[in-house]
Amino acid sequence: MGGQLILIRHGIAEERTPEGDDFYRKLTEAGVEEMNAFLSDIAPLLTEHRNLKIWTSPLVRARQTAELVGEATAVEEIQQQEFLATGDYVAFMEALEQEAEGFTVALVGHEPYMSIWTKELIGAAIPFKKGAVAFFTVDFADDPIGNLEWLVDPGESAKCKHDEADKKHAADKHEGTADCGPCDGEDTLYADIIKEQMAGVQHAYAAYQQDPVEPESAHDLRVTIRQLRALLNFNKANGEEKYYREAGEDWREIATTFGYLRELDVLMEECRELRGLYPAMLAEDGQVMTWLMEERQAEQDSIHELITSGALTERILDAEAATAQYLKSINLDDDQQKKATIKKLEKMKKRLMRKWEEVDFSNHEETHSLRINAKKLRYAATYLAPITGEKDKTVIKEMKKIQTGLGTLCDLDINGNLLLEMAENTEDPELQNHFRILSAHQFKRREAILNDEDD
């Protein structure tokens, strides 16, 4: 048995106040206008399948949103469901299983329940902005039972999700085939790039949840967030500092959540590569690898708690909201942005090459900082190419080379210090000795590279 399921978070509502009753919070005027415009765009997607039903949380802001959905889709009957207010997934499933084969049900509710239910449906929690709509196909015989077909937010063009021709939007604007006059900061080529990058973060966030054991899933998520932060930093001087700082700090905090997990993955991979030198010490079922795998599992469990509680999803939503405000504050049209981008890229390159000539490679802080700047320049040159007109392949290649070279030095320093910390955190004398031997090897390798020796 199966059908189609549509999850909808209510639109922008009145702010919560200490003296107010959360139940009666209404949609704001702006929230109503935004949802009306958005729903008129995506209504054909919601009514592709017949017999659409609408269920809503009893809370006022959700009921108002459901009524707007009903108006847009010509559905008159709207059923209130208490489980959409309480987040009772079991009750939701029991109600859904009573529906006939081929059902299409739209549910209007709240965060963090929308994200939590998505986790149950497809195995990954996806943050829902206010007004966001996600469409799932459902088959109760499958595990997981759901498959996410699409997710769109107010402000996005739903047609872009389904019309390949719209993929040319960025290029057409650059070539001048579209209207490129003065525009709002959130309706520019730069904003399109940022929004696409945020969508990439959501995709990577879902991929991590579906396979948290795979080292690359945490790595890909952190890289995607770093790319986004680098692109936000690129326009730092052209937007509102308050929103830039808020967005940057939010995204940094999210990436940091996965930092220790990534350090453990890098260290474990290094230990496996050193197994030929220390076969007994680094056997897969030996003390060192067992300790590292248990440490990784503990860290993975800690992250899982953040996800299942909805706390990490809320952080992502906060970061997205701050980013949206930052985009609105940037007063550059596409032509102005192109000139500013080319100028900034050249300035970044000159500054970085000057630091390259001056860096003390034995100083971890300096090499780490230089590596970060090389990444920022590489990401900017790569992802801002639709604005400049082409990728600066020379810069990208040079920055990749610098990043890779410095990465080895940085990883060896981090590994060495991490192993020393682990030696302090265990009371087993033999394991302490193993950690210290491996730590010394990391520092020795780093020193050999600095001295251009064969390690």
Whether the Cβ atoms of residue 232 and residue 248 lie closer than 8 Å to each other:
yes
Q: Is 177 part of a structural domain of the chain?
A: no
- The pLDDT of residue 347 is 92
Q: At which of 99, 130, 152 does a domain end?
A: 152
453 has a pLDDT exceeding 60: no
Calculate mean pLDDT across residues 207-216.
88
Q: Is 174 part of a structural domain of the chain?
A: no
Q: Is 342 part of a structural domain of the chain?
A: yes
| Same domain assignment for residues 359 and 322 | no
| Cis peptide upstream of residue 127 (ω within 30 degrees of 0) | no
Q: Is 257 exposed, middle or buried (0-12, 13-18, 19+ CB in 10 A)?
A: buried
160 has a pLDDT exceeding 50: no
CA 242 – CA 323 distance, rounded (Å): 11
173 has a pLDDT exceeding 80: no
CA 96 – CA 105 distance, rounded (Å): 8
Candidates 265, 154, 128; CA nearest to 206 is: 128
Whether the Cβ atoms of residue 16 and residue 25 lie closer than 8 Å to each other:
yes
The residue type found at 262 is: R
| Same domain assignment for residues 291 and 381 | no
227 has a pLDDT exceeding 50: yes
- The pLDDT of residue 179 is 35
| Same domain assignment for residues 226 and 263 | yes
pLDDT exceeding 90 applies to what percent of the chain?
A: 63
Per-residue pLDDT tens over the stretch 320-342: 889 989 999 998 889 999 999 99
Per-residue pLDDT tens over the stretch 267-284: 999 999 999 999 999 999
167 has a pLDDT exceeding 50: no
- The pLDDT of residue 200 is 86
Q: Is 178 part of a structural domain of the chain?
A: no
Q: Tokens representing 63?
A: 């009921």
How does DSSP classify residue 142?
S
| Same domain assignment for residues 190 and 327 | yes
Whether the Cβ atoms of residue 304 and residue 212 lie closer than 8 Å to each other:
yes
Q: Is 162 part of a structural domain of the chain?
A: no
Identify the H or E element spanning 8: strand 2-9
Q: At which of 314, 332, 350 does a domain end?
A: 332
Q: Is 167 part of a structural domain of the chain?
A: no
Per-residue pLDDT tens over the stretch 250-263: 999 999 999 999 99
- Does the pTM of the predicted model rise above 0.75? no
- The pLDDT of residue 436 is 97
Calculate mean pLDDT across residues 173-198.
62
| Same domain assignment for residues 132 and 229 | no
| Same domain assignment for residues 250 and 127 | no
- The pLDDT of residue 375 is 92
- The pLDDT of residue 172 is 41
| Same domain assignment for residues 73 and 121 | yes
- The pLDDT of residue 195 is 87
Parallel, antiparallel, or unpaired for β 133-139 and 2-9? antiparallel
19: pLDDT confidence band, cut at 50, 70 and 90? low
- The pLDDT of residue 154 is 85
CA 268 – CA 262 distance, rounded (Å): 10
119 has a pLDDT exceeding 50: yes
420: pLDDT confidence band, cut at 50, 70 and 90? very high
| Same domain assignment for residues 77 and 22 | yes
158 has a pLDDT exceeding 70: no
180: pLDDT confidence band, cut at 50, 70 and 90? very low
- Indicate the number of domains in the chain: 3
161 has a pLDDT exceeding 60: no
What is the residue range of 129's domain? 2-152
Position with higher pLDDT, 178 vs 78: 78
Place of tokens 């490679």: 361
Interior CA angle at 333 toward 332 and 339, to 5°?
75
Calculate mean pLDDT across residues 95-116.
92
CA 277 – CA 120 distance, rounded (Å): 45
383 has a pLDDT exceeding 50: yes
21: pLDDT confidence band, cut at 50, 70 and 90? confident
- The pLDDT of residue 185 is 53
Identify the H or E element spanning 262: helix 259-273
Q: At which of 332, 349, 378 does a domain end?
A: 332
| Same domain assignment for residues 325 and 345 | no
Q: Is 176 part of a structural domain of the chain?
A: no
| Same domain assignment for residues 36 and 129 | yes
Per-residue pLDDT tens over the stretch 356-380: 989 899 999 999 999 999 999 999 9
79 has a pLDDT exceeding 90: yes
| Same domain assignment for residues 72 and 203 | no
Q: Tokens representing 278?
A: 């220390």
Averaged pLDDT of the chain: 88
- The pLDDT of residue 136 is 94
- The pLDDT of residue 156 is 59
115 has a pLDDT exceeding 50: yes
68 has a pLDDT exceeding 90: yes
Q: Is 160 part of a structural domain of the chain?
A: no
| Same domain assignment for residues 6 and 148 | yes
169 has a pLDDT exceeding 50: no
- The pLDDT of residue 438 is 97
